[in-house]
Structure 1
Amino acid sequence: MVADVDSGEPSTGADPTALVAAFETVSSLLVVGHDSPDPDCLASALALRTIAESAGVETVDIVYGGHISHQQNRAFVNLLALDLDRFDPAQLDTVDSVAFVDHAVPGINNSVPTGTNVDVVIDHHEYETSVDADYLDLRTGYAATVTILLEYLDGLDLEPTPELAAAALFALHRETIDFVRGPTMREYEVAARLLDLVDEELIKRMYGAMFTPETLDAIGEAIRTREIRGSALVSSVGRVSERDALPQAADLLLNLEGVTTVLVFGLVGDHVQLSARSVDSRIDVGELLRQTFADVGTAGGHDNMAGGQLPLGLFADESADDFELVAFVGDRIGSRFFDAMNLSDPS
């Protein structure tokens, strides 16, 4: 039951009826989102829950690790009154089946122990490591995981609830940055089908979520500390507790005239978090981050957006004050990134 990951089209084994058949002997399902889940992950989880319940699964729990800190993501959860729980590894021993949506490998961007058996994986990302599941649908030709799940619903003649429709439409907008970043015709078609099912005012309220003061300060710091070489920019948000401030800063800085590739880093806990964006068709920023930081942490993503996480202790003494840490880490992060892009120090 594996999808064709090259074309993005599902094989005959990966289809709605096969997924329903996989659930027919299951009474409890744990849908695990990735750490700090975004709307695409959460909307996909809601869609999978709809499919599982239609197949007779009695208990479907949606869980996640990390924290939901992005203000729009918090508004998304609160306005839709989503029933979510924090992931506890002990839950793995109490359910019949475990599913991943919008991520695929235990221990990579999730809190599930490495080596855990996962029964269902549905995702649109590409992975260097092998992906294994009893039911696997991995379509890198899609711009969002929720698109795959909504096609499943359509194939099963299941209409999304108003809650799911709103979640899915907002997820499509966020995942593609309002249909600017890499949408396919599939995303447009799915969005068009959702329009008559959603409360437009609810979508506006999700978009209207305000920045937290910390996020605003982080974006300001990223603007202040930017370094540009050629069309590439590297910047720091300093030390933050809101990890989602990094991609927001990266998205904003990509609008700077003459800049086509952005890397933003910040200190979050005992790690250096990375967020990268690119609109340069010659650059696969996911592969660029993998090659640049594979020896010191985990990094990767898509051709136009990527992220990473590096242990802070590999770069600097964590006992130093934050100003020294950020400066020290910034020199090394920036040097690695610019060198990988063959952009020498202008001095």
Structure 2
Amino acid sequence: MSIDPKALIAAIGMRKRVLILTHNNPDPDALASACGLAAVIQHLTSCRVQVGYSGIIGRSENRALLRYLPIDPTPFSRIRGRQQLAYALVDTQPGAGNNVLPAGIIPMMVVDHHPPKVTTRLLLKQTPIVDIRTDYGACATIITEYLQELDVPISGSLATTLVYGITSETQSLGRDATKADLKAYNDLISLANLKNLSMIEFSRQPREYFRYVKRAVNNAFFYKNVIGTRLGEIGNPDMVAEMADFLLRHERMSWSIVTGLHQDKLLVSIRATNNRARAGRTIRRLVEVLGGTAGGHNLVAGGQLDCKGKSVEEISQLDRDLIMGFIRKVTNIDNVKVINPLVSAEIHDPWEK
């Protein structure tokens, strides 16, 4: 059995409330994993369980998912009595730099499918329950196995949430998916509400989305097999990853990179088409050297750099250095001369006034 119920109960101890935290700006895999783990804990204990997050849930599909979640996630800023809680982390790790676990708090449990980092390993050693499976395509798959092993009843809304978490994380089981992900999907799909799944996957887009698409295309560039764009300052951090997916649909490109500034954080997302691309390792080497945090898998990865206190000129230069460093790394060409605009007459600089 991959989860020991006695160990989980012991890790919670005498505490009556459990908070399951996702990474900031949670995606469907994180939300689904949190809801599934909540069902496990509620099945084993009488604790009050909440799902917490920080940031925003901005992508239209993710907002649509909120309507069908079995538990309403709560912004961390609204959580009270934080020192009396038992904390669990899903799809993230303590010290990863992408969650709001309070300083000095050791979680009672961590479930993730991303490789540990230098900044997380010491805290993970102090965590009572750690289940990190880097060979799984989705964290929701791990949680699904918990539910099945412990015979936890899976409602239609939970099955729908888990199915969408798995398929969105693996691009319909075509990106970084494993046999475990496929099995979980097959076991859950008959329990899911297919109409609701369709409503989530094909949710209608707000006007803002098309503005971001326009900006991404106008600013887009390519060099060899790399395509990318700089979005500049953005109000919706989810657009960085979404535009990285969007640009990689270009038929001749193998890599995409997109950057954007949100609340003093320079966000970067990269995507690849080659199953051996090691996108996560690539972005960690690129971003961590610059003082940021990053992580990911073979085909998808992301990171962030703290820009608080920096001038527009400094952020613009950092943005450019990040793009150029990425191009050099994945093309193995140090002397990158001409970067071409994708559709515009010239590459637009989002930082020019």
Q: TM-score range by the shorter chain?
A: 0.7 to 0.9
Q: Deviations over 1:143-162 (max 9, x none)?
A: 11111111111111123111
Matched to 1:346, the amino acid is: K
* Identical aligned residues as a percent: 27
**Unaligned 5+ residue runs, structure 2?**
339-353
User: In the alignment, does 2:238 pair up with 1:247?
Assistant: no
Matched to 1:286, the amino acid is: G
1:346 pairs with 331, 337, 352, which one? 337
Within 5 Å, give how 1:112-261 maps onto structure 2.
Answer: 112-129=101-118, 130=121, 131-132=124-125, 133-261=127-255
Matched to 1:70, the amino acid is: R
The CA deviation at 1:268 is 1.4
Q: Is the CA contact (8 Å cut-off) linking 2:52 and 2:75 kept in structure 1?
A: yes
**Unaligned 5+ residue runs, structure 1?**
1-11
The CA deviation at 1:125 is 0.9
Give the whole-Å Cα distance in 2 for the aligned partners of 1:51 and 1:313.
39
The CA deviation at 1:13 is 7.2
Measured on the aligned residues, the alpha-carbon RMSD in Å equals 2.2
Q: Is the CA contact (8 Å cut-off) linking 1:226 and 1:236 kept in structure 2?
A: yes
Give the whole-Å Cα distance in 2 for the aligned partners of 1:287 and 1:186.
23
Matched to 1:220, the amino acid is: K
Give the whole-Å Cα distance in 2 for the aligned partners of 1:200 and 1:313.
44
- Residue in 1 that maps onto 2:89: 100
User: In the alignment, does 2:264 pair up with 1:270?
Assistant: yes
Give the whole-Å Cα distance in 1 for the aligned partners of 2:105 and 2:215.
40
- Residue in 1 that maps onto 2:44: 55
Matched to 2:261, the amino acid is: L
Q: Deviations over 1:31-56 (max 9, x none)?
A: 11111111111111111111111112
Moved more, 85-94 or 122-131: 85-94
Within 5 Å, give how 1:41-52 maps onto structure 2.
Answer: 41-52=30-41
The CA deviation at 1:256 is 0.6
Using the size of structure 1 for normalisation, the TM-score is: 0.87
- Residue in 1 that maps onto 2:300: 305
Q: Secondary structure at the match of 2:67?
A: helix
Matched to 1:306, the amino acid is: A
Classify 1:266/1:154 alpha carbon distance in 2 versus 1 (closer, same or farther; 3 Å).
same
Give the whole-Å Cα distance in 1 for the aligned partners of 2:103 and 2:84.
18
Classify 1:140/1:249 alpha carbon distance in 2 versus 1 (closer, same or farther; 3 Å).
same
Q: Is the CA contact (8 Å cut-off) linking 1:16 and 1:152 kept in structure 2?
A: no
Q: Is the CA contact (8 Å cut-off) linking 1:33 and 1:42 kept in structure 2?
A: yes
Matched to 1:214, the amino acid is: E
Q: Secondary structure at the match of 1:105?
A: coil
Matched to 2:207, the amino acid is: P
Give the whole-Å Cα distance in 2 for the aligned partners of 1:116 and 1:80.
27
Give the whole-Å Cα distance in 1 for the aligned partners of 2:327 and 2:6.
49
Q: Secondary structure at the match of 2:274?
A: coil
Q: Is the CA contact (8 Å cut-off) linking 2:68 and 2:161 kept in structure 1?
A: no
The CA deviation at 1:313 is 5.3
Give the whole-Å Cα distance in 1 for the aligned partners of 2:276 and 2:190.
38
Runs of 4+ in 1 over 6 A off after TM superposition: none
Classify 1:68/1:247 alpha carbon distance in 2 versus 1 (closer, same or farther; 3 Å).
same
User: In the alignment, does 2:69 pair up with 1:80?
Assistant: yes
Classify 1:107/1:148 alpha carbon distance in 2 versus 1 (closer, same or farther; 3 Å).
closer
Moved more, 73-82 or 60-69: 73-82
- Residue in 2 that maps onto 1:6: none
Classify 1:238/1:208 alpha carbon distance in 2 versus 1 (closer, same or farther; 3 Å).
same
- Residue in 2 that maps onto 1:290: 284
Q: Is the CA contact (8 Å cut-off) linking 1:27 and 1:56 kept in structure 2?
A: no
Matched to 1:36, the amino acid is: N
The CA deviation at 1:338 is 1.6
Give the whole-Å Cα distance in 2 for the aligned partners of 1:287 and 1:18.
33
Matched to 1:127, the amino acid is: P
Give the whole-Å Cα distance in 2 for the aligned partners of 1:56 and 1:235.
48
Q: Is the CA contact (8 Å cut-off) linking 2:9 and 2:44 kept in structure 1?
A: yes
The CA deviation at 1:312 is 2.8
The CA deviation at 1:291 is 1.1
- Residue in 1 that maps onto 2:341: none
Q: Is the CA contact (8 Å cut-off) linking 2:111 and 2:130 kept in structure 1?
A: yes
Classify 1:71/1:91 alpha carbon distance in 2 versus 1 (closer, same or farther; 3 Å).
farther
The CA deviation at 1:346 is 3.0
Q: Is the CA contact (8 Å cut-off) linking 1:24 and 1:56 kept in structure 2?
A: no
